[in-house]
Structure 1
Amino acid sequence: MTNQNETKLFPAIFAAGLLSFSGVIVETAMNIIFPVLMKEFHINTATVQWMTTAYILIVSIFVPISAFLKRRFKTRSLFITANLLFIIGLVIDSIAPTFSILLSGRILQGVGTGIALPLMFNIILDWAPENRKATLIGVGTLITAIAPALGPTLGGIVLNSLGWHWIFILLLPLLVISFILGFFSIGQAHDTEKKGFDFFGWVAIILTFVGLTLAFNNLSIIDSKPIQFIGWLLIGLLGLVCFVYQTSHSKRPLINLSIFKNWSFNWHILAFFLIQSIVLGLSFILPNYIQLVDGKSALLAGFFVLPGAAIGALLAPFGGRFMDIFGEARAVLSGAAIVLIAMILFSAFGLVLSGQAILLIYAFLMVGVGIVMANTMTSGLAQLSVFHQADGNAAFTTLQQFAGATGTSLVSAIITLQQDRPIGTMAVNTARGSMYAFILLLAFIVFAIIFLVAALRTRKTA
Structure 2
Amino acid sequence: MNTNTKKISAKVIAAIVATGLMSFCGVIVETSMNVTFSILMREFSITTNQVQWMTSIYLLLVAIIVPLSAILKSSYRTKTLFTVASLFFIGGIIIDALAPSFWLLLVGRAIQGIGTGIALPLMFNIIMEQVPTGKIGFMMGIGNLITGVAPAIGPTFGGIIASKLNWRWVFYLLIPLLIISFLLGEWGITQKSPIEKQQIDIFSMLMIVFMFCGFVTGFSNLGSQPFMTFSVGGALLIGILGMGLFAWRSLILEEPILQLRLFRNKNFSGHVLGFFLTQLISLGFAFLLPNYIQLVNGNSAMIAGLIVLPAGFAGAIFAPLGGRILDKFGARKPILIGTSLCLIALIAFTIYGQHLTSTFIALVYILYMGGMGMCMGCVMTSALTVIGKEKQSQGNAILNTLQQFAGAIGTSLVAMIVAANQSHLNVVRRVSTAIGTQEAFGMLTVFCIIIWISYYRSVKK
Same fold per superposition (TM over 0.5)? yes
Q: Secondary structure at 2:386's aligned position in 1?
A: coil
Deviates more, 1:264-273 or 1:326-335: 326-335
CA-CA distance at 1:409 after TM superposition: 2.4
Matches within 5 A, 1:16-55: 16-38=19-41, 40=43, 47-55=50-58
Amino acid at match of 2:355: V
Residue of structure 1 aligned with 2:403, choices 391, 400, 406: 400
The equivalent residue for 1:244 is 247
1:149 correspondence with 2:149: no
1:343 correspondence with 2:346: yes
- Asked if the contact 1:331–1:371 (Cα under 8 Å) also holds between the matched residues in 2, the reply is yes
Q: 1:304 to 1:5 in 2, by over 3 A?
A: closer
User: What is the alpha-carbon distance in structure 2 between the residues aligned to residue 41 and residue 351 of structure 1?
Assistant: 36
CA-CA distance at 1:436 after TM superposition: 3.2
User: What is the alpha-carbon distance in structure 2 between the residues aligned to residue 390 and residue 427 of structure 1?
Assistant: 47
The equivalent residue for 1:128 is 131
1:213 correspondence with 2:219: no
1:56 correspondence with 2:62: no
Residue of structure 2 aligned with 1:309, choices 291, 296, 312: 312
1:108 correspondence with 2:123: no
Residue of structure 2 aligned with 1:170, choices 173, 176, 187: 173
Q: Secondary structure at 1:52's aligned position in 2?
A: helix
CA-CA distance at 1:153 after TM superposition: 1.9
CA-CA distance at 1:264 after TM superposition: 0.4
- Asked if the contact 2:320–2:374 (Cα under 8 Å) also holds between the matched residues in 1, the reply is no
User: What is the alpha-carbon distance in structure 2 between the residues aligned to residue 340 and residue 47 of structure 1?
Assistant: 36
Q: Secondary structure at 1:350's aligned position in 2?
A: coil
Residue of structure 1 aligned with 2:9, choices 6, 25, 37: 6
Q: 1:126 to 1:324 in 2, by over 3 A?
A: closer
- Asked if the contact 1:25–1:151 (Cα under 8 Å) also holds between the matched residues in 2, the reply is yes
User: What is the alpha-carbon distance in structure 1 between the residues aligned to residue 46 and residue 415 of structure 2?
Assistant: 14
CA-CA distance at 1:258 after TM superposition: 2.7
Unaligned 5+ residue runs, structure 1?
A: none
Q: 1:299 to 1:76 in 2, by over 3 A?
A: same
CA-CA distance at 1:44 after TM superposition: 5.9
Percent identity, please.
46
CA-CA distance at 1:165 after TM superposition: 1.9
1:190 correspondence with 2:216: no
Q: 1:151 to 1:12 in 2, by over 3 A?
A: same
The equivalent residue for 1:409 is 412
CA-CA distance at 1:427 after TM superposition: 3.9
What CA deviation, in whole Å up to 9, does each residue of 1:174-227 have, x standing for no partner? Answer: 111111111122121123222322121121122222222222223214546455
What CA deviation, in whole Å up to 9, does each residue of 1:388-439 have, x standing for no partner? Answer: 0110111111112221222122223333444556965554444344333323
Q: 1:301 to 1:425 in 2, by over 3 A?
A: same
Q: Secondary structure at 2:222's aligned position in 1?
A: helix
The equivalent residue for 1:73 is 76
Amino acid at match of 1:306: L
Amino acid at match of 1:281: G
Residue of structure 2 aligned with 1:378, choices 360, 366, 381: 381
CA-CA distance at 1:300 after TM superposition: 1.6
User: What is the alpha-carbon distance in structure 2 between the residues aligned to residue 123 and residue 413 of structure 1?
Assistant: 39
- Asked if the contact 2:215–2:408 (Cα under 8 Å) also holds between the matched residues in 1, the reply is no
User: What is the alpha-carbon distance in structure 1 between the residues aligned to residue 101 and residue 295 of structure 2?
Assistant: 24
Amino acid at match of 2:257: L
Amino acid at match of 1:10: I
Deviates more, 1:289-298 or 1:390-399: 289-298
What CA deviation, in whole Å up to 9, does each residue of 1:274-323 have, x standing for no partner? Answer: 11111122112222332333332222222111100110011111112223
1:272 correspondence with 2:279: no
1:293 correspondence with 2:296: yes
Amino acid at match of 1:121: F
Amino acid at match of 1:386: K
Amino acid at match of 1:446: I
User: What is the alpha-carbon distance in structure 2 between the residues aligned to residue 357 and residue 35 of structure 1?
Assistant: 28
Q: 1:168 to 1:148 in 2, by over 3 A?
A: same
User: What is the alpha-carbon distance in structure 2 between the residues aligned to residue 315 and residue 217 of structure 1?
Assistant: 32
Amino acid at match of 1:377: M
User: What is the alpha-carbon distance in structure 2 between the residues aligned to residue 76 and residue 312 of structure 1?
Assistant: 30
CA-CA distance at 1:80 after TM superposition: 1.2
CA-CA distance at 1:86 after TM superposition: 1.1
Q: 1:45 to 1:274 in 2, by over 3 A?
A: farther
User: What is the alpha-carbon distance in structure 1 between the residues aligned to residue 417 and residue 108 of structure 2?
Assistant: 27
What CA deviation, in whole Å up to 9, does each residue of 1:119-146 have, x standing for no partner? Answer: 1111112211222222211111111111
CA-CA distance at 1:354 after TM superposition: 2.8
CA-CA distance at 1:325 after TM superposition: 5.0
User: What is the alpha-carbon distance in structure 2 between the residues aligned to residue 262 and residue 447 of structure 1?
Assistant: 19
- Asked if the contact 1:45–1:416 (Cα under 8 Å) also holds between the matched residues in 2, the reply is no
User: What is the alpha-carbon distance in structure 2 between the residues aligned to residue 284 and residue 31 of structure 1?
Assistant: 10
What CA deviation, in whole Å up to 9, does each residue of 1:140-176 have, x standing for no partner? Answer: 1111111122212211221221122211111111111
Q: Secondary structure at 2:299's aligned position in 1?
A: coil
Tell me the TM-score normalized by structure 2.
0.91
CA-CA distance at 1:347 after TM superposition: 2.4
The equivalent residue for 1:453 is 456
Amino acid at match of 2:154: G
Amino acid at match of 2:82: F
Unaligned 5+ residue runs, structure 2?
A: none
Residue of structure 1 aligned with 2:447, choices 438, 444, 447: 444
- Asked if the contact 1:137–1:374 (Cα under 8 Å) also holds between the matched residues in 2, the reply is yes
Q: What is the Cα-based RMSD across aligned positions, in Å?
A: 2.5
User: What is the alpha-carbon distance in structure 1 between the residues aligned to residue 320 and residue 307 of structure 2?
Assistant: 23
